Structure 1
Amino acid sequence: MEKWKIRTGTIHHSFYGLCCFFWFAQYVYVPYQTTYLLLAHISSNLVGTIIGAYGISQLVLRLPVGILADLSSNHKLFIILGSFFAGAASLFRILLPDDIGFLIANILSGTASATWISFMILYMSFFTKGDQTRATSKIIMANNSGMLLGFVTSTFLYDIVGMMVICAFSLGAGLIACVLSFFLHATKPSIQPKIGVIELLQVIKDKNLLLYSCLALVQQGVQMATTMSFTNQIIQDLGATNMVIGFSSIIYMLSAVLFAKLASTRFLELLTKKQWIYSSFLLLGIYCLMVPQTGSIFIVCFLQLIPGMGTGILFSLLNSEAIKSIPQQKRSTAMGFFQAIYALGMTTFPIISGSIYEHLSMKAAFLFLAGTCFIAFSVSLIYSRKEESRSLKKKVS
């Protein structure tokens, strides 16, 4: 495992800044990407393919990247490459501002996001086993902070400077992240027994990894289909301007940052981890039921606090719980599997929801999303009760 030659007191700030620039580069153009492509007279089907390419490339690459990271233990290299690809993607958007350029760019952006495994595993290695949830919350807060800054930037500047300047911001942030990553020096990996690919893939049998990967598939799929997509469409249909749509996204991301911060404090101790998980899914289901029913832009914006909590607390817990029983030398592979599974949700849920919307209605699409949340709520509640029963039997015996 890599050890950074940076004083402990500066590690977290350096890493936080690096992560913020990385995710700013990845998301600053996202709120207006669909609008830009449709105004460029690109068909809606092709726009869907372009946007889907981001999730599909992650789905394909995340497990192989995780395996390679475990085999090499060189997380710094993956961080450098990921930051470079994040910036290079927007260079393609600037040089080829059409369907081909954006398709190539989204594939590169997906490749960059696949390297997030190394960001997470390396950062979590700075913390003890008992502090893994706090570590996960902190790095997800950095993730959400970068996205929030990106959304704020595009909300206030898109109508003034246009998509190409926004993409230039993305390019600049990616290059800054890439340069910063070169200053992170690492010692040689500690000597460990060689582990083969087949042995690494055995982590897929871990029941916690399987369960929480599937739950994350629902959480990320619902997030992508609602806050990143159809919730904005509902607000627009209610008469919202581009600025208001941007503010709605900012409320969601600000909520995600704040709840991720709370998840790294004693606030999390108000409930058990299992209770937070099934309660969050219940609230997400209620959110999906309420958003298409209301006729108020203000209420929809207020409801954005709920998926923000889902991203800030629920997703943090799903990450930490998924790999808590995985040995350190196999964690990149486990994280690669976890991220590949939830990338499947990010890709398929918007497609399924869009199809339901086209053939039935927006309310039916959100009803489908609510149903998946309630299924996740039931599964996590049942699993929690079984775990409590097992623990009680052990104490009695």
Structure 2
Amino acid sequence: MSAALRIPRRQQRVWFGIMTVLYWTSMYMYVPILSPYLTSRGLSLGMIGLVLGSYGFVQLLVRFPIGLWSDTMGRRKPFIMLGLAAGSLSCLLFIIPGGLGWALSGRITAGICASTWVAFTIMYASLFRPDEASKAMGQVSAMTVAGQLLGMAFSAPLADTFSWHVPFYIGIGAGMIGLIVALFIREEPAAEGRPPMSVRLLRGVVRQRTLVHAAILSVLVHAMLFISMFGFTPLKAKELGADGWLLTAIVFAFMVPHAIASLLAGGVLSAKLGEWRLLQIGFGVGAVATALIAFSPNLIVLALTQAVNGFMQGLLLPMLLSLAIREAQLNERATAMGFYQAVYSVGMFAGPFVAGWMNDRWSIDSGFWLGGAAGVIATVLALKWGREAASEKHQIAR
């Protein structure tokens, strides 16, 4: 009897949560120090933008096929284990001495790791009733933030106290422990008579209007995110004098409100304000906070922009996740999520890539203006599509 089968079903969510936190810890253990680390290795801002953007480019190519393959097989766990292994390998590649090549390989492997997230989200959602999708996505978003925060909190102090490589060693260990935990998670067999994924079903999935709207908005929020906190905000903080624990404080200023908002978005706030209203508020306020990073005169003001931005993006991500799978049948969910995540990878790639070019040409502040502009565009689209959704709901009620 396997280890997984000996664990009662009621404990599956607990094991899944531990594994998910380790997955994100492995991937984000080095994120706050990545751009300064690459600078220390002699890379220009443009080259750093290329490395950062490669993470999203790989996901653009790989996420959707993984979701489709997962739905065709009716399996999620093999892809989860692939992701954990890739997370460890990514950290290992960053340690190898050299210039652009190894750093690029490490970030590309991290992109493969992140591409398997589709399997995590769908497997966790399967532990809930279909009408609890928002609750499940809120919880899985909170797990994401917990893992990211656990890694990012100690990254800079460890690098300052010991060496640049220590956070990468810990990332390797987190991924390997996550693989062991995965053995204790049971995957339910696919239901008999489950219709296989076909070209006709695939075409129907990618034509779901709510999915397409969620994916387009997610391109813009991920562009904002990977230009700022997961991109060039650490370099801005270093310019303002942050080091070690001060850089960690900037990370906490973003991630703690982000985690709180992730939990609130799928419950109290969405019930009170509605999903589209939350999206409009999140994008509008987030656009202003992102642009204001460029005008931060000191670390206190920078921390305030991060706190506001973290909370707003914490509202956005679970809402968009929920919308992405709302119209999908159970056998279509991984394909829908794979499509959604592949599309938003455009923002993860294009955002830091274009911002890196702008930063090289003008200054590091210009990239934050680009992030603010992305938020403004998203706000306009959320207003338009929110009104359309409200109008359709009103007509159905009549």
- TM category (shorter chain) comes to over 0.9
Percent identical residues: 24
Aligned twin of 2:260: 258
Q: What residue identity is the alignment partner of 2:162?
A: V
Change (3 A) 1:366 1:188: closer
Change (3 A) 1:232 1:89: closer
Aligned twin of 2:91: 90
1:229 to 228, 231, 234: 231
2:136 aligned with 1:113, yes or no? no
2 CA distance for matches of 1:310 and 1:6? 37
Kept after mapping to 1: 8 A contact 2:286/2:375: yes
2:202 aligned with 1:200, yes or no? yes
Kept after mapping to 2: 8 A contact 1:4/1:187: no
Q: What residue identity is the alignment partner of 1:147?
A: Q
Kept after mapping to 1: 8 A contact 2:19/2:181: yes
2 CA distance for matches of 1:12 and 1:38? 40
Greater shift after overlay, 124-133 or 257-266?
A: 257-266
Aligned twin of 1:367: 369
Aligned twin of 1:349: 351
2 CA distance for matches of 1:143 and 1:244? 23
Aligned twin of 2:159: 158
State the TM-score, normalizing by the size of structure 2. Answer: 0.93
Report deviation, 1:182: 1.9
Structure 1 unaligned blocks of 5 or more: none
Greater shift after overlay, 153-162 or 335-344?
A: 153-162
2 CA distance for matches of 1:97 and 1:356? 26
Change (3 A) 1:261 1:350: same
State the TM-score, normalizing by the size of structure 1. Answer: 0.93
Change (3 A) 1:5 1:209: farther
| SS of equivalent to 2:374 | helix
Change (3 A) 1:325 1:6: farther
2 CA distance for matches of 1:190 and 1:29? 40
Aligned twin of 1:102: 103
Report deviation, 1:197: 4.4
- Give the root-mean-square deviation of aligned CA atoms: 2.1
Q: What residue identity is the alignment partner of 2:287?
A: G
1:331 to 312, 315, 333: 333
Greater shift after overlay, 100-109 or 64-73?
A: 100-109
Change (3 A) 1:4 1:252: farther
| SS of equivalent to 2:326 | coil
Greater shift after overlay, 349-358 or 159-168?
A: 349-358
Kept after mapping to 1: 8 A contact 2:33/2:234: no
Structure 2 unaligned blocks of 5 or more: none
Aligned twin of 2:298: 296
1 CA distance for matches of 2:101 and 2:94? 9
Kept after mapping to 2: 8 A contact 1:24/1:146: yes
| SS of equivalent to 2:295 | coil
1:275 to 260, 277, 287: 277
| SS of equivalent to 2:166 | helix
1:219 to 205, 218, 221: 221
Aligned twin of 1:80: 81
Aligned twin of 2:316: 314
Greater shift after overlay, 373-382 or 94-103?
A: 94-103
Report deviation, 1:97: 6.0
| SS of equivalent to 2:234 | helix
Structure 1 segments, 4+ long, off by >6 Å, are none
Report deviation, 1:311: 3.1
2 CA distance for matches of 1:166 and 1:195? 41
2 CA distance for matches of 1:309 and 1:145? 14
2:286 to 284, 301, 308: 284
1:182-197 equivalences in 2 (<5 Å) = 182-191=183-192, 192-197=194-199
Kept after mapping to 2: 8 A contact 1:67/1:197: no
Aligned residues: 394
Aligned twin of 2:23: 22
